[in-house]
Structure 1
C-alpha cells in the first residue's frame, strides 16, 4: 500500500518544483515507509511513498513505460493473469509487480483496462504523447484520492487531505456544508470535504485532465445494479456464493510479506479466517482485541474461532477508557470522523502490525448481503408503506408519531415514535434519516442562527435520498443497500479502515468487497438476503459447512466503544468545555451545547454520540485550520 501525490497544469506547462511534490508525499510517509520517489517534467510532477508488498526489492515508483508515467496506491490481485495476456501481445516486463502491469495494460487497452482489474487502487497516469493526466479510483472506493484546483492554475492530487494541505497554494477555508454533512452523518461524505474546493474522486470513477482544455467532471466507469435477479435454486445459489467467497479470499492471500487477518469472532471475519485456513499450508495469523468490560467484549468468540481453525492467534485487551487516542485519530483522519469504533480499529491494526504487513478484514458483507438490523426494519416499513396511499399514510402515521411520547430510555419495542414518523415519510427520506447520527431537528436546535441561514436549506441527508430515488433497484431494500455502497461504505467504513491501517503502515484487504462477489450479491432476491429476521441469510447458509451456528446466528456486536460513559466520567470536563469552544461558536449556539452536556452528564438524556461528534469536529478543525 502506498501514498501518492502530484500536480498537473492543464493550461500552461509550468515548471514543477520537485521539493513541493516531495513535501506532499513526505507527510504521508506512514502510508509508505519503505521508499520514496519524485518525477517531474514540463507541467507535471508525480510523487510516491511505498509500502512494499509485492516484488519487494523492485517496482520503484514513479514508474515509466514509453510515454506513460504512473504513481499507484493499491493491489491488483489478478496481475499475473493480465501479465501473461499482455506478454502475448508483445509487452516486455522488467519487474515482477503489478505496477508495470498497469502501465502496459494502459498502453494496450487505455481505460478499458479498468474493467479487467480485480483489486483496490487509486492511481494517476501521465501520458506525454496525449499531454494528459488521468486519475482513477477503484470500484468501491477502498483507496482514497483527493484533488483540488490551485490558484496558479495547477491541479493537485493526493491520497490523503494532508498531502494537499502541504502545498503552499492551497487555500484553507472551511466549507460550511461539510459541517452540516458531518453533523448529519458522523463523517464527511465522499461528495464533500471540510476544506472548500477540495474534492474526492468518487468511487468507480476516473478524471482525465487534458492540456489546453478545462477540467471536466469525473466519469463513472463502474456501477452496481440491484435491478437484476439471479435465477436458480437456493442450493445452487448457495454453492455459487461459497465458491465466490473462496475465490475472493484466495486472491487476496498473495503477498511477499507476512500476512494475517483481523478476527472479531463475528460472521464476516470468521468466514475470512475459515477460508484462509482452508487455503493456507501454514497456520493463519489472526489478531483480535477485547475490552476490559464484559458488556463490550466478544474476544471469547474470536478465541473459539481461532481454536477451531488452529490459527496463530494474538489478542490484546483494551481498557474501556482508551480515549487517549483522540488526537492520534484526529491526525490520521484529517477531516472530522465520529465513528468511535475507529479506536478499536486502530488498536487491532496496531497489534497486527507487530507481526504482519498485510491483514485481511471482513468489511463489506453487511452492505452487500443486508446484514445491518436497519435493513430488516426498512424492509418491514416498506411493506407497510405499500399498504396505504402516500397522502393517507402521511396523515395517519404523522399524527400518531406526533402524539406518541419520546422514550429513548425504554426498551426498543416501546420506542415507536421514530418508526411512526418514518412511516409518514417516503422510504428514501426515512432511511436517510435512520442512518444519520443527529436528526434535522436536533441539528437546527444546536446551530447558531447565522449558520443555519448560511446553509440555505442544504441538508446532509439530501445526497443519500437522491441516490436512493435514482438507484437501479426493484425494492426499498435494494435502494438502501445501493445507497450505503455509495455513501456509508466509502465515507465511513472504508475511510476508517484505510486511515487506521495506514497510520501504522499496515495494508488492509477486504475480500468481501470483491466486485464479482458484490455484483452477484446484488442479484439475490430479498428473501435470500433477509429471512426469518436474519440478515445475510444466504451467506450464513453457505458458511454452515465451515462455521458453527453460535457464530453464524448470534446477535451482531462489532466494535463497541463506551463513549456515553466517558462523557459522564473522565471526559465530563471536556464535554463541559465544548460549551466554551471558540471554534464551535462559529456555527453552534453554545448555550444549546451546554444544555446537551449537562443533560447527558446528569443522566437526564443520552447525548454521548452527539458530544463525541462535537469533540471530534472541534479537534479536527483546530488541527487543519488552526
Structure 2
C-alpha cells in the first residue's frame, strides 16, 4: 500500500518543484517508508512507499528495458503465479507490482484482466508518450484525477491535488453536498469537489498530451452464467475459494492482523487463517463502546469475539471507546475523509487502526461479504416483487421531510440510481440487481473509502479477502435461495460456519451492534445544535430550531442517521473548507 501522484503534461507545460514536494508530503501518511520519482517532458510520477513485500528491493518507480515506467498503490496477489508465465523476462525486484510491466507489453490496456488484487496504477509508455491510469475492479484502492491547465493530474487522495494548488479547496459541488446528506456517500465518478473526479472501479484511462484519449472498464461481475443450485457442491466450492483467497491475501513480509467482530465475515477469515497455519503471533482487534447498558441502545460484540479468539488461540485486543474519546478525536477522524463518507463506522475503524499501528502494518477485514452474499436486510426487501412489499434501493434519502431544509435540495442522486436500474441486465433477479448496484456504488464510495482512509491515516494496509475475482464470480452465480433463506441473508456463509466453526453461532439471532453516536448527540443536543448552526453552510440550509429539535431526538433510529449526517458535514466543512485545525474537540472546531 502506498500513495501515488503525478501529472500527464500538455506540450509546453510543466509543474514546479514545490508542487511535486507538496504532492508527496500530502501522501506521506500512505507511504512513510520512502519516496520515489521519475519524469520526462511529458509525465511526472511520484510515489510514497509503505513497504509490505520485498522491503529492501521493491522501491518504486519500477521500469524495464522496453520503455515502461510504473508506480502503483496496492498488492497483486497472484504475482508469483504470473511471473511463471514470463520465464524469459528478467525481473529486477521481488515487488509484486513489477509483473504489470510484462503484462502491459503482452496485453496493453487489457493487462488488468490478468490481475488478482487491489491497485491504483500509473504507468508511462515512453515510446507511445502515454500515461495509463488503472483501478482495481472493486474500487478497493482509490485514484482521483483532475483536468487542469497543465494537463491531467492524479493522486491517491483528492486532498493532495488540492494542497498542490491544482484545484481550489472551496470549490465544492452543492448537489454533491445534498447527496451526501441524503445518502451518507456520493455515488459515481463525481466527488464533492468541482473538477476532481474518481477513476471508477475497474476503469483504465489512457492519456496523451494532457488529454484523456481512451477509457475502458473491467467489471468485477462474471461474464458467463453458470448457475450454482446444489447446496453441497456450493459449500465445497466456497470452501476451496475461501482458502485460496485468504491464502494469497496473507502474502506479506511484515506482520499482519485482523479486525474481529462476532459477525459472519471476520469469523470466516479467522477460522480459515487457523486452517492455513497463520495464527502464530496473529493479533485481532475488536471495538466496544463504554455506555450505560441499561439503555439497551448498544450491544457489545467484544465478549463473543474474545470467545472466538480464545478458541483459535490468538492474541485479542479489546479497544474501548467512550464519548469523551469520540468528541475529542472526531475532527481528526473526519480530517482523514477528504472524499467525505458520513458513515459512523469511521469511528471504530479509526480507533482500531490507531491501536493496531504499533504492532502490524497489514489488517485483514471482512468488507464485501454483505454485498456479495446478500447480508443486508434491504436485499430481502429488494428481492420481493412490488406487490409483496418489495422496494428498490435508494428510492428515498435519509431526510424524507421536504420541509426540513430551508430551500429545495438536489434530487440528482435519485435520477442517478433510476438510471443505474435501467442499465441492469433484465435477466438478473431483483436480488442480483440490488447487489450489483451496491457493488458499483455503496461498496467503493462508502465502505472502501472508509477503510482506506481510516487505516492509511495510521500507515496500515487494509486487505479484504472477500473482494476477490473468483469469489465474486462464485457469489454472482449462486441461486438466490443459497444467499437468502428463512429470512436470513448470507445463508451459504452461515452454512459454512456451521460446518467449520459452529462456536461462531452463525444462525443465532444477532443482537446488533452500532455506534451510540445518536445517544451522545442527544445528551449534548443544545450546545451541539448551536455550534453546528454557527457553521455557515449548515446555517444556510437548516433552521436552528430544526437542528435543535432533531438533536434532541437523535437516539431515535431515523433521527440518529439524520443528526449524525449533519454533525459530520458541519465538522467536515470546518476542517476541509474553512481550514480549521482538526486537533481540537468537536465544539472547538465547530465554533468560530
TM-score computed with the length of structure 2 as normaliser: 0.91
- Give the conservation status (yes or no) of the 8 Å contact 1:16–1:43: no
Q: Which position in structure 2 is the counterpart of 1:278?
A: 275
- Give the conservation status (yes or no) of the 8 Å contact 2:117–2:468: yes
Q: Which position in structure 2 is the counterpart of 1:258?
A: 255
Query: Do structure 1's residue 520 and structure 2's residue 519 form an aligned pair?
Result: no
- Give the conservation status (yes or no) of the 8 Å contact 2:82–2:99: yes
Correspondent of 1:352 among 353, 356, 370: 356
- Give the conservation status (yes or no) of the 8 Å contact 1:137–1:144: yes
Quote the offset at 1:221 in angstroms: 2.1
SS at structure 2 position matched to 1:290: strand
Quote the offset at 1:353 in angstroms: 1.6
Query: Do structure 1's residue 26 and structure 2's residue 25 form an aligned pair?
Result: yes
**Alpha-carbon distance change, 542 to 383 in structure 1, aligned in 2, over 3 angstroms:** farther
Name the structure where helix makes up a greater proportion of residues: 1
Query: Do structure 1's residue 537 and structure 2's residue 491 form an aligned pair?
Result: yes
Alignment length (residue pairs) = 567
Correspondent of 1:334 among 330, 334, 338: 338
Quote the offset at 1:281 in angstroms: 5.1
Query: Do structure 1's residue 565 and structure 2's residue 565 form an aligned pair?
Result: no
Q: Which position in structure 2 is the counterpart of 1:176?
A: 174
- Give the conservation status (yes or no) of the 8 Å contact 1:226–1:482: no
Correspondent of 1:371 among 361, 372, 375: 375
Quote the offset at 1:139 in angstroms: 0.7
Distance 1:351 1:475 in 2: 42
Query: Do structure 1's residue 507 and structure 2's residue 465 form an aligned pair?
Result: no
Quote the offset at 1:216 in angstroms: 4.3
**Alpha-carbon distance change, 29 to 281 in structure 1, aligned in 2, over 3 angstroms:** closer
Distance 1:596 1:461 in 2: 24
Quote the offset at 1:51 in angstroms: 0.4
Q: Deviations over 1:92-119 (max 9, x none)?
A: 0121111221122222322222111110
Distance 1:187 1:82 in 2: 36
Quote the offset at 1:174 in angstroms: 1.1
**Alpha-carbon distance change, 364 to 572 in structure 1, aligned in 2, over 3 angstroms:** farther
Q: Structure 1: where are the runs of 5+ without partners?
A: 386-418
- Give the conservation status (yes or no) of the 8 Å contact 2:550–2:563: no
Correspondent of 1:308 among 306, 311, 314: 311
- Give the conservation status (yes or no) of the 8 Å contact 1:575–1:611: no
SS at structure 1 position matched to 2:212: coil
- Give the conservation status (yes or no) of the 8 Å contact 1:337–1:617: no
Q: Which position in structure 1 is the counterpart of 2:404?
A: 446
Q: Which position in structure 1 is the counterpart of 2:203?
A: 205
Quote the offset at 1:560 in angstroms: 1.3
Query: Do structure 1's residue 437 and structure 2's residue 398 form an aligned pair?
Result: yes
Q: Which position in structure 2 is the counterpart of 1:64?
A: 63
Distance 1:346 1:558 in 2: 20
Query: Do structure 1's residue 80 and structure 2's residue 41 form an aligned pair?
Result: no
**Alpha-carbon distance change, 379 to 484 in structure 1, aligned in 2, over 3 angstroms:** same
Quote the offset at 1:289 in angstroms: 1.8
Distance 2:59 2:492 in 1: 43
Shifted more, 221-230 versus 371-380: the winner is: 221-230
Correspondent of 1:91 among 89, 92, 100: 89
SS at structure 2 position matched to 1:148: strand
- Give the conservation status (yes or no) of the 8 Å contact 1:15–1:41: no
Quote the offset at 1:598 in angstroms: 2.2
Quote the offset at 1:550 in angstroms: 5.2
- Give the conservation status (yes or no) of the 8 Å contact 2:308–2:504: no
Quote the offset at 1:379 in angstroms: 2.0
Quote the offset at 1:514 in angstroms: 0.8
Q: Which position in structure 2 is the counterpart of 1:50?
A: 49
Q: Which position in structure 2 is the counterpart of 1:471?
A: 424
Quote the offset at 1:32 in angstroms: 0.5
Q: Structure 2: where are the runs of 5+ without partners?
A: 579-592
**Alpha-carbon distance change, 327 to 522 in structure 1, aligned in 2, over 3 angstroms:** same
Shifted more, 514-523 versus 226-235: the winner is: 226-235
**Alpha-carbon distance change, 218 to 594 in structure 1, aligned in 2, over 3 angstroms:** farther
Quote the offset at 1:604 in angstroms: 10
Quote the offset at 1:330 in angstroms: 1.8
**Alpha-carbon distance change, 461 to 621 in structure 1, aligned in 2, over 3 angstroms:** same
Alpha-carbon RMSD: 2.2
- Give the conservation status (yes or no) of the 8 Å contact 2:221–2:473: yes
SS at structure 2 position matched to 1:583: helix
**Alpha-carbon distance change, 246 to 383 in structure 1, aligned in 2, over 3 angstroms:** farther
Quote the offset at 1:85 in angstroms: 1.2
**Alpha-carbon distance change, 594 to 241 in structure 1, aligned in 2, over 3 angstroms:** same
**Alpha-carbon distance change, 190 to 159 in structure 1, aligned in 2, over 3 angstroms:** farther
SS at structure 2 position matched to 1:445: coil
